[in-house]
Structure 1
Amino acid sequence: MEIGILGGGIAGLSVALALRKQGYNPRVYERRAVPATMGAGVTLWPNASFVLEELGLLQDIAAIGGRPLTMRRQDAAGNALGGLDIGLLDRTMGYPSYTVLRRHLQQVLLDHAARAKIPVEFGRRAVAIELDAHGRAVAHFENGASIRPDLLIGADGRMGSVARKFVAGDNTPIYQGFVNWIGVAQGQHPLVDDISIQDFWGAGERFGCVPIRPDLVYWAAAQVRPLHEATPTADMRKEVEDLFAQWPEPVAHLIRSTPANAIQLIAVHDLEPLHTWSRANVLLVGDAAHAPLPTSGQGACQALEDAWHLARCLDGASGGLDDVFQAFSRIRAPKTARLAEQGRVFARGLFATDPEICRIRNERAKASDPVSDVQVLAAGWGQGLPMLGGAEITSVEGDGIGSLYRIE
């Protein structure tokens, strides 16, 4: 079977690797001319590490990633708001959590794709997909070329996905009312005291920092603002530094330790959950299918899960692609829709501007039971995977709010 994958990011490359392990020969088409990714870094939670181990990548990730064991929350004045015992979460789920720069994760995926002899073609921007006379999808590229594979996988992201437009008829992302400035701070001396994720909550503002090493930390600063003001300025580092000048350390130090030209501004969008992820012989995966907010903490993790589940669905299929697509969406749609909704719910509370709402939010965070939070996280993130001692999790108790104390 000829398989074409539109998109060479985390979703596209992990799907290619998973399918190659099953004996298929996928080919990846990436719109960018060179390897590049949006974003600073990601936290790979235990459900992602399970998939990475299955793909044979976890050892490489461990070599380049950080190993956080705690997450601490504070308000903008530095008052403690509780946290998460990541070590307990890892032990409960049976796999470690890692922090990694997105570009380094991308390079690991590309290296393994090269070893597996998976063709990855850059500079291949898809502009349209249409059906031929036999009902098979044809993807047309900007350079005039086209492909007509037996299976076409759309892993072309949340912004302007050609595959999502073909499947759903619409690919319009939804602005969720806040922006993220993201950056990577690096110094000759330690920038933080330990490898702990730190999350600072304000009123309509947030700052999160994620160490990989004490001298290498990626961060995201966020603020509520209307879309027409969500545009880069000439000196974004000064803008962010001024905005968070009075916040607890290491906030200001991390901003100052980031090259001014390396800070990006992102107007944060997500997508509505789809009723169907496929049309004809086209299947959506990753952000093209389900694009949660960064407040879900699960964007990259769910892209990796897609790869593992799709390989299993293809391997166990006795019928045609329709059966594969139905099985895949039946497994993936409920979990990804739930995580996307949780991301939205948490964002609404996190970016509240009313002082009383923020006070209640903070009090609830301080009063949360850390052991219960871990149990909810383990159940929610492990759902559908053979984790937790090999037992499949088939139900999730609680509201899952613990899973939302994340940045990505």
Structure 2
Amino acid sequence: MEIGILGGGVAGLSVALALRKRGYRPRVYERRAGPASMGAGVTLWPNAGFVLEELGLLQDIAAAGGRPVAMRRQDAAGNALGGLDIALLDQLMGYPTHTILRRDLQAVLLDHAARAGIPVAYGHRTVAIDLDAVGKAVARFENGVSIRPDLLIGADGRMDSVARGFVAGHNTPVYQGFVNWIGVAQGRGALVDDIAIQDFWGSGERFGCVAVKPELVYWAAAQARPLPAAEPAADMRKEVEDLFAPWPEPVARILRATPAHAIRLIAVHDLEPLHTWSRANVLLVGDAAHAPLPTSGQGACQALEDAWHLARCLDEADGGLDQAFLRFAEIRGPKTARLTEQGRVFARGLFATDPETCRLRNQRAKASDPMRDVQAIAAGWAQGLPMAGRVDSTPADGAGAGSLYRV
């Protein structure tokens, strides 16, 4: 079976690797002229760790990334608001959590794709998908090339997905009321005390920083605001430094260690859950199918889960695409829709501006039961995966502790 994958990011490459391990021969088509490196970093939670182990990637991810021990929450004045025992979460789920720069994750995926003999063609921007006379999809690229594989997988992202437009029509990304400034800080010495995730909550503002090494930290600063209409400030570091100047260390130290030219401003969007993930022989995966807010903590993790499940659905259907697509959507739809909603609920609380609402939010976070939080998150994130360390299979209703950690 000829398989074409539109998109060479986390979703596209992980799907290609999972299919190749099952004996398929996929080809990847990436719109950019070189490897994608959008975003600063990502936290690969234990459910992602399971898939990475299955794909033979975990050792290389561990070599390139960090092992966080905890997530700590504070308010804008530095008062503790509880947190998450990541070491305990890893123990319960049976797989490790890793923090990693997105460019390093991409490099690991590309290295393994090259070793597996998976072709990755750059400079192939999809401009249209049409059906031919027998109802098979034809993808047409800006460079004049077209492909007509037996299976076409849309892994072309959340914002300008041609594959999603073909499958679902006008399912446009939804702005969720806040922006992220993102960057990577590199210090000559330690910027933080340990490999951990630190999350600072204000009123309509938030700063999160994630250590890969004590001297290497990726971060996101966020603020609730209307959809930006103007160009970003010329000096974005100064803009962020001024906004977060009163906040506790290591915020200022991390910002000073970030090259001003490397900071990006993102208006944060997600997608309404889709009613269908496929049309004809085209299937959506990753952010093209389900693009949760970064407050879900699960974007890259769910792309990896897509890869693992899709390979098995194709095998079980013995190459029958209709049956494989139906089974894939049955497995993946409920979990990804739940995570999308959790990300939105968490964002609404996080970016509240009413002082009393913020006070109650912080009070609830401080009073939460750490063990119950870990158990709820483990159950929710393990759902649908054969993870030996799983506590139980009941989905969590509010695993908000994941929050930011993909930027």
Q: Taking structure 2 as the reference length, what is the TM-score of the superposition?
A: 0.98
Kept after mapping to 2: 8 A contact 1:309/1:328:
yes
- 8 A Cα contact 1:41 1:102, kept in partner: yes
1:151 and 2:151 aligned: yes
Decide whether the 8 Å contact of 2:342 with 2:400 is kept in 1.
no
CA distance in 1, matches of 2:148, 2:256: 50
Say whether 1:214 aligns with 2:220.
no
Shift of 1:389: 3.8
Matches within 5 A, 1:325-404: 325-389=325-389, 394-396=393-395, 398-404=396-402
Partner of 1:248: 248
Please give the alpha-carbon distance, in whole angstroms, between the structure 1 residues aligned to 2:94 and 2:366.
27
Q: How does 1:113-262 map to 2 (within 5 A)?
A: 113-229=113-229, 231-262=231-262
Paired AA for residue 188 in structure 2? Q
CA contact 1:71–1:197 (8 Å) conserved in 2 = yes
What does the per-residue CA deviation read over 1:224-243, in whole Å, with 9 as the maximum and x for residues that have no partner?
A: 11113564110000000000
Tell me, in whole angstroms, the C-alpha distance in 2 between the residues paired with 1:123 and 1:137: 20
Count of paired positions: 406
CA contact (8 A) 2:191 2:250 kept: yes
Contact 1:230-1:267 within 8 A present in 2 as well:
no
SS in 2 for 1:172: coil
% identity of equivalent residues = 79
Structure 1: state its 5+ residue gaps: none
TM-score between both structures, scaled by the size of structure 1: 0.98
The answer to whether the 8 A contact 1:86-1:97 is kept is yes
What secondary structure does 1:219 align onto?
Answer: strand
**Letter of the aligned partner of 1:207 in structure 2?**
F
Quote the offset at 1:390 in angstroms.
Answer: 7.3
Q: Indicate conservation of the 8 Å contact 1:160/1:171, yes or no.
A: no
The Cα RMSD (Å) is: 1.2
Separation in structure 1 between the aligned mates of residue 163 and residue 393 of structure 2, nearest angstrom: 31
Rounded to whole Å, the distance in 2 between the matches of 1:320 and 1:85 is 43
Paired with 1:66 and 1:381, the residues of 2 have a C-alpha distance of 20
Q: Give, in whole Å, the separation in 1 of the partners of 2:6 and 2:171.
A: 15
Partner of 1:302: 302
* SS of equivalent residue, structure 2 residue 27: strand
For the residue of structure 2 that corresponds to 1:387, the secondary structure is coil
Task: Find the aligned partners of 1:74 and 1:388 in 2 and give their Cα distance.
Answer: 33
Alignment partner of 2:405 out of 401, 404, 407: 407
Counterpart Cα distance in 2 of 1:50 and 1:108: 16
Shift of residue 144, structure 1, vs aligned partner: 1.3
Shift in alpha-carbon separation, 1:339–1:119, aligned structure 2, 3 A: same
Query: Corresponding residue for 2:69?
Result: 69
CA contact (8 A) 2:277 2:284 kept: yes
In 2, distance between residues paired with 1:324 and 1:271?
Answer: 23
CA contact (8 A) 2:83 2:370 kept: yes
